[in-house]
């Protein structure tokens, strides 16, 4: 059962660490650090990680440094 506001797992798009690094324009090691520190949620598939695409967008949105809204 899916709670309100939650996307069903079959509709979640998961990205590899390399894909996340490409989107964020950082190294794969930086993505691994974010995952291991808990700043970026991920699931483990075998020996690799998969990161929900929406988590990457949320992290970038929350980390944005710019003009504050009044």
Q: In the prediction, which pLDDT does 1 show? A: 52
- pLDDT tens sequence across 18-55: 999 999 999 999 999 999 999 999 999 999 999 999 99
Q: How confident is the model at residue 9 (pLDDT cuts 50, 70, 90)?
A: confident
**Cut 0.85: pTM above it:** no
Give the torsion sign (CA, 21, 12, 50, 36): positive
The predicted pLDDT at position 25 comes to: 96
Q: How far is CA 66 from CA 12, 55, 60, in A?
A: 29, 20, 12
């Amino acid at each position: 059962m899916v709670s309100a506001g939650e996307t069903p797992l079959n509709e979640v798009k998961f990205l590899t660490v390399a894909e996340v690094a490409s989107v964020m324009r950082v190294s794969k090691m930086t993505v691994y650090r974010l995952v291991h520190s808990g700043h970026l949620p991920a699931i483990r598939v075998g020996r690799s990680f998969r990161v929900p695409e929406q988590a990457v967008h949320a992290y970038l949105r929350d980390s944005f440094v710019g003009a504050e809204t009044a």
